[in-house]
Amino acid sequence: MSEQSANPQTTTQNPEETNAAATEQSPLTALREQIDALDIQIHNMINDRAKLAQDVAIYKKQTVSDADAKSHKNPIFYRPEREAQVLKAVMERNTGPIADDKMARLFREIMSVCLDLEAPQRIAFLGPIGTFTHAATLKHFGKAADTMPLATITDVFREVEAGTAAYGVVPVENSSEGVVNHTLDGFLSSTLKIIGEVELPIHQNFLVAEHTKVDSLSRIYSHQQSLAQCRHWLDVNFPNIERVAVSSNGEAARRLKNEWHSAAIAGDVAAVEYDLHKLYENIEDNPSNTTRFLIIGHEAVAPSGQDKTSIVVSAHDKAGALIEILKPLSEHGVSMTSIETRPERPNKWAYVFFIDMDGHIDDANVTAAIEAIRPMVKDVRILGSYPKAVL
Ligand SMILES: O=C(O)C(=O)C[C@]1(C(=O)O)C=C[C@@H](O)C=C1
């Protein structure tokens, strides 16, 4: 069905079944007729929903404030808080048999297409194609997003700052490897905000190409972190093949094109992008391994009802500074969800703290806690309030 064709009124049938049905309608034909009828309704409703999204876009264009229009600011089409609410509502009202998360993914794709219709969004991500950051980007924005792979985390910050991409996706922490320092440091030299987060379970596959001679494998490519995540499985199953660390899982998958004796370890997106076959799935030693990614952008996000706020605090270099900073959070009933320390370059032995807490900056207790911290420290910057990961 082409993108343009809407409101289908006819259905097509397999000629063999049409013949069978001519004599006596089989139960399969009857069921398929019901599916066809529902498909027409679903199809029309999706287009009706898309038309409403177009109306929303018109409203957003009309209501850009005069001040914004003068400074050539575009209306903000992407609304993370609304998307989080829509997806949460889908999961809450779902009664099955389709699982909550799978149903939410279907709606994720519908919204992705609706947003694309309002205004195509370019999303920069830490590439190349086929990495877990690529998978996180598609999970968060859906497949209609115009994705743009970049070589480094710094490039992602830069392109979003420059406006080449509207938003960026960067990894921030892995449940077994810890934080991604480059990403945290990126915020120290940027004014970009955190506007969302995505969590992605990391499942590794043993991938081969059509032409791979599986019985004569001599080499396996992957990113060094993925090789480490599958070390035990490789020791047991392929103790004698050479393990070659490359710059990314996407690059590992890409290399199979010209080699018949090599395999790659990478995720599902790489398998699809490079047309590879999964010889073994879920070969990671720790099946609960998860990576968290941040969405970066320019605009502040309205409350969704279930939000997180991230701040970065530059403390005075004195004993007990951290304990002092954390006190206002508990005094105002704000729960801290994570804290990371990074050197405050270029100052030797000075540190900054990245603190995540429950709640939105519009919540009175979150504002009160942050305002109470402010006089105790050299600087506090609010990196953003954003919806907690839904999917
Ligand atoms: O509600 C909006 O603001 C919309 O633009 C509609 C819609 C949707 O399809 O539901 C599309 C894009 C936004 O990111 C959020 C939601």
- Site to substitute for ligand 1 among 45, 48, 82, 123, most atoms within 8 A of C-beta: 82
Contact between residue 167 and residue 121 where contact means Cβ atoms under 8 Å apart: yes
Contact between residue 350 and residue 343 where contact means Cβ atoms under 8 Å apart: yes
Q: Flag whether pLDDT at 10 surpasses 80.
A: no
Task: Give the confidence band of 74 by pLDDT, cuts at 50, 70, 90.
Answer: confident
Asked if the 121-202+290-299 domain carries CATH number 3.40.50.11890, the reply is no
pLDDT digits (tens, 9 = 90+) for 213-230: 999 999 999 999 899 999
Atom of ligand 1 nearest to the CA of 52: 6
- The predicted model scores a pTM of 0.89
Ligand 1: centre distance to CA 367 (Å) = 28
Lowest mean pLDDT across 59-73, 76-90, 181-195, 270-284: 59-73
Task: Kindly list the domain boundaries of the chain, sorted by start residue.
Answer: 26-117, 121-202+290-299, 205-288, 300-391
Ligand 1: centre distance to CA 171 (Å) = 25
pLDDT digits (tens, 9 = 90+) for 161-207: 999 999 999 999 988 888 899 999 999 999 999 999 999 999 999 99
Identical topology for domains 205-288 and 300-391: no
- Closest of 198, 186, 200 to residue 354, by C-alpha: 186
**Closest residue to atom 11 of ligand 1, CA basis:** 115
Residue 72 is predicted with a pLDDT of: 63
- Report ipTM (2 d.p.): 0.99
| Beta-strand runs (E) in 305-365 | 307-314, 336-343, 351-358
**Closest residue to atom 3 of ligand 1, CA basis:** 79
**Closest residue to atom 1 of ligand 1, CA basis:** 82
Task: Give the confidence band of 345 by pLDDT, cuts at 50, 70, 90.
Answer: confident
Ligand 1: centre distance to CA 56 (Å) = 7
DSSP H/E element including 42: helix 27-62
Ligand 1: centre distance to CA 121 (Å) = 13
Averaged confidence pLDDT in the chain: 92
Q: Flag whether pLDDT at 22 surpasses 70.
A: no
Backbone angles phi, psi at 231, to 5 degrees: -55, -50
Asked if the 205-288 domain carries CATH number 3.40.190.10, the reply is yes
Q: Give residue ranges with CB within 6 A of ligand 1.
A: 53, 56, 78-79, 82-83, 86, 111, 114-115, 118
Give the CATH number of domain 26-117.
1.20.59.10
Give the CATH number of domain 300-391.
3.30.70.260
- Site to substitute for ligand 1 among 76, 81, 83, most atoms within 8 A of C-beta: 83
Residue 254 C-beta-side C-alpha neighbours within 13 Å:
12
Atom of ligand 1 nearest to the CA of 50: 9
Ligand 1: centre distance to CA 115 (Å) = 6
DSSP three-state, residue 204: coil
